[in-house]
Structure 1
Amino acid sequence: MSQQTHNRPRFPMRRTLITPAALSMLEQVGLSPVALLDRHCGGDWGELVADDIAENELALLTGKRLL
Protein backbone atom coordinates (compact mmCIF):
# COMPACT_ATOMS: atom_id res chain seq x y z
CA MET A 1 0.00 0.00 0.00
CA SER A 2 1.39 3.40 -0.96
CA GLN A 3 1.29 6.01 1.75
CA GLN A 4 0.98 9.72 1.22
CA THR A 5 3.79 11.77 2.72
CA HIS A 6 4.07 15.49 3.16
CA ASN A 7 7.03 17.83 2.80
CA ARG A 8 6.42 19.38 6.18
CA PRO A 9 5.87 17.76 9.55
CA ARG A 10 2.34 16.62 10.31
CA PHE A 11 2.92 16.82 14.07
CA PRO A 12 5.43 18.47 16.42
CA MET A 13 8.46 16.44 17.40
CA ARG A 14 9.22 16.45 21.04
CA ARG A 15 12.06 14.84 22.93
CA THR A 16 13.27 11.88 20.90
CA LEU A 17 15.36 9.05 22.28
CA ILE A 18 17.02 6.02 20.71
CA THR A 19 18.46 3.01 22.47
CA PRO A 20 22.14 2.23 21.89
CA ALA A 21 21.16 -1.11 20.30
CA ALA A 22 18.77 0.56 17.84
CA LEU A 23 21.36 3.19 16.91
CA SER A 24 23.98 0.47 16.39
CA MET A 25 21.64 -1.51 14.14
CA LEU A 26 20.80 1.55 12.04
CA GLU A 27 24.51 2.34 11.66
CA GLN A 28 25.24 -1.26 10.63
CA VAL A 29 22.69 -1.13 7.81
CA GLY A 30 23.55 2.44 6.79
CA LEU A 31 20.29 4.12 7.79
CA SER A 32 20.10 7.59 9.31
CA PRO A 33 17.86 7.92 12.38
CA VAL A 34 17.24 11.57 11.44
CA ALA A 35 16.08 10.60 7.95
CA LEU A 36 13.73 7.98 9.39
CA LEU A 37 12.28 10.50 11.87
CA ASP A 38 11.82 12.98 9.04
CA ARG A 39 9.83 10.39 7.08
CA HIS A 40 7.74 9.54 10.15
CA CYS A 41 6.98 13.20 10.87
CA GLY A 42 5.86 13.60 7.26
CA GLY A 43 3.31 10.80 7.58
CA ASP A 44 5.31 7.88 6.19
CA TRP A 45 4.21 5.18 8.63
CA GLY A 46 6.51 2.54 7.22
CA GLU A 47 5.28 -1.03 6.93
CA LEU A 48 2.22 -0.86 9.16
CA VAL A 49 -0.96 -2.80 8.47
CA ALA A 50 -4.00 -0.80 7.33
CA ASP A 51 -5.57 -0.75 10.82
CA ASP A 52 -2.41 0.73 12.36
CA ILE A 53 -2.16 3.33 9.60
CA ALA A 54 -5.77 4.33 10.34
CA GLU A 55 -4.91 4.53 14.06
CA ASN A 56 -2.00 6.87 13.31
CA GLU A 57 -4.20 9.10 11.18
CA LEU A 58 -6.78 9.21 13.98
CA ALA A 59 -4.01 9.90 16.53
CA LEU A 60 -3.02 13.00 14.56
CA LEU A 61 -6.55 14.32 15.04
CA THR A 62 -6.98 13.31 18.68
CA GLY A 63 -3.46 13.72 20.09
CA LYS A 64 -3.07 10.04 20.95
CA ARG A 65 0.06 7.94 20.58
CA LEU A 66 1.52 7.30 17.12
CA LEU A 67 2.88 3.91 16.11
Structure 2
Amino acid sequence: MADHIQKKALNPEAHNFSPAQLEQNAQSRNPGIHPLILWEQEEADKAKAAAASAPIDVKAMMSKVDRKN
Protein backbone atom coordinates (compact mmCIF):
# COMPACT_ATOMS: atom_id res chain seq x y z
CA MET A 1 0.00 0.00 0.00
CA ALA A 2 2.69 2.51 1.03
CA ASP A 3 4.69 1.55 -2.04
CA HIS A 4 1.74 2.46 -4.27
CA ILE A 5 1.33 5.86 -2.55
CA GLN A 6 5.04 6.59 -2.89
CA LYS A 7 4.98 5.81 -6.64
CA LYS A 8 1.98 8.07 -7.07
CA ALA A 9 3.85 10.87 -5.23
CA LEU A 10 6.92 10.47 -7.44
CA ASN A 11 4.87 10.23 -10.65
CA PRO A 12 1.65 12.16 -10.11
CA GLU A 13 -1.00 11.80 -12.77
CA ALA A 14 -1.06 14.76 -15.14
CA HIS A 15 -3.88 17.23 -14.74
CA ASN A 16 -5.67 17.57 -18.03
CA PHE A 17 -7.28 20.98 -17.87
CA SER A 18 -9.07 22.33 -20.88
CA PRO A 19 -7.87 25.70 -22.23
CA ALA A 20 -11.10 27.24 -20.91
CA GLN A 21 -10.38 25.92 -17.40
CA LEU A 22 -6.81 27.21 -17.53
CA GLU A 23 -8.07 30.63 -18.58
CA GLN A 24 -10.62 30.60 -15.73
CA ASN A 25 -7.89 29.68 -13.23
CA ALA A 26 -5.62 32.45 -14.49
CA GLN A 27 -8.39 35.04 -14.16
CA SER A 28 -9.55 33.91 -10.72
CA ARG A 29 -6.03 34.04 -9.30
CA ASN A 30 -5.30 37.24 -7.44
CA PRO A 31 -2.26 38.91 -9.05
CA GLY A 32 -1.59 40.63 -5.70
CA ILE A 33 1.74 41.22 -4.07
CA HIS A 34 3.08 38.38 -1.93
CA PRO A 35 2.18 38.93 1.77
CA LEU A 36 5.84 38.57 2.79
CA ILE A 37 6.87 41.41 0.47
CA LEU A 38 4.10 43.60 1.91
CA TRP A 39 5.22 42.73 5.45
CA GLU A 40 8.88 43.53 4.68
CA GLN A 41 7.81 46.88 3.19
CA GLU A 42 5.74 47.68 6.31
CA GLU A 43 8.67 46.79 8.59
CA ALA A 44 11.01 49.00 6.56
CA ASP A 45 8.49 51.88 6.71
CA LYS A 46 8.11 51.45 10.48
CA ALA A 47 11.91 51.48 10.94
CA LYS A 48 12.22 54.64 8.81
CA ALA A 49 9.43 56.34 10.76
CA ALA A 50 11.01 55.37 14.09
CA ALA A 51 14.42 56.63 12.94
CA ALA A 52 12.91 59.89 11.67
CA SER A 53 11.00 60.56 14.91
CA ALA A 54 13.81 59.53 17.27
CA PRO A 55 15.97 62.32 18.69
CA ILE A 56 19.42 62.23 17.13
CA ASP A 57 22.16 61.40 19.62
CA VAL A 58 25.05 63.46 18.28
CA LYS A 59 27.59 61.90 20.67
CA ALA A 60 26.64 58.39 19.56
CA MET A 61 26.87 59.45 15.91
CA MET A 62 30.29 61.00 16.47
CA SER A 63 31.60 57.90 18.25
CA LYS A 64 30.48 55.76 15.28
CA VAL A 65 32.27 58.16 12.90
CA ASP A 66 35.41 58.05 15.07
CA ARG A 67 35.43 54.22 15.10
CA LYS A 68 35.34 54.09 11.28
CA ASN A 69 38.60 56.03 10.98
Pick the TM interval, shorter chain.
Answer: under 0.3
TM-score by length of 2: 0.27
TM-score by length of 1: 0.28
The structure with the largest helix share of the pair is 2
Larger radius of gyration: 2
Greater RCO, 1 or 2 (C-alpha within 8 Å, sep 6+): 1
